[in-house]
Amino acid sequence: MYLNRIQLIGFTGKDAESRTIRNTQKVSFPVATSESWQDENGDWQKKTEWHNCIVWGGKLAAFARTLQTGSYLLVEGKLAKREYEREIQAGKSAVKVPATAVEIVVNKIVKLARPAKDRSASESSDEAYDSEQNTEPAVAY
């Protein structure tokens, strides 16, 4: 048995961007997740990771297109790696170098309300769309 599934809860870093590739809508947006810890000196440290999220076509892409900077989300999907060539200026000429992009191909988005101090994130969801179940955005209780 194999499993490639990832879940993230975080904030979007900018408005979702949409474009059409081979007659299919592609929506992309970055999601930031953070973690905090105390170092050996007792000082608090914080690290933020940025994740590139991609949605391909259909109702899920239409929903993702509405995401704006600072949206609090749960996204679920699979991890995908894409190889491509990147062009870098070297003096007056350009050189192509191999590069790798790691992305989350999203199949579910739950738009969450801002977390309150006295309730958990799972209690605060307000809109959801799951491409696997083909459900419309709805209020979740």
Q: Looking at the predicted structure, is the pLDDT value of residue 22 above 60?
A: yes
Tally of helices (H runs) and strands (E runs) in the chain: 1, 8
122: domain CATH number is 2.40.50.140
In a domain, 17, yes or no: yes
**What tokens appear for 73 in the block?**
């989300």
pLDDT-based confidence at residue 91 (cuts at 50, 70, 90): confident
- Per the structure, the count of domains in the chain is 1
In a domain, 1, yes or no: no
pLDDT score, position 35: 94
Closest CA to 110 of 71, 78, 54: 71
pLDDT score, position 136: 44
pTM comes to: 0.74
Q: Of 30-44, 71-85, 119-133, which gets the smallest average pLDDT?
A: 119-133
Distance CA 105, CA 54 (A): 5
Per the CB < 8 A criterion, the answer to whether 18 and 65 are in contact is yes
pLDDT-based confidence at residue 140 (cuts at 50, 70, 90): very low
Structural domain span for residue 129: 6-36+46-138
In a domain, 41, yes or no: no
Q: Of 51-65, 100-114, 121-135, which gets the smallest average pLDDT?
A: 121-135
In a domain, 77, yes or no: yes
Round the CA-based radius of gyration of the chain to a whole number and report it.
18
In a domain, 112, yes or no: yes
pLDDT-based confidence at residue 123 (cuts at 50, 70, 90): very low
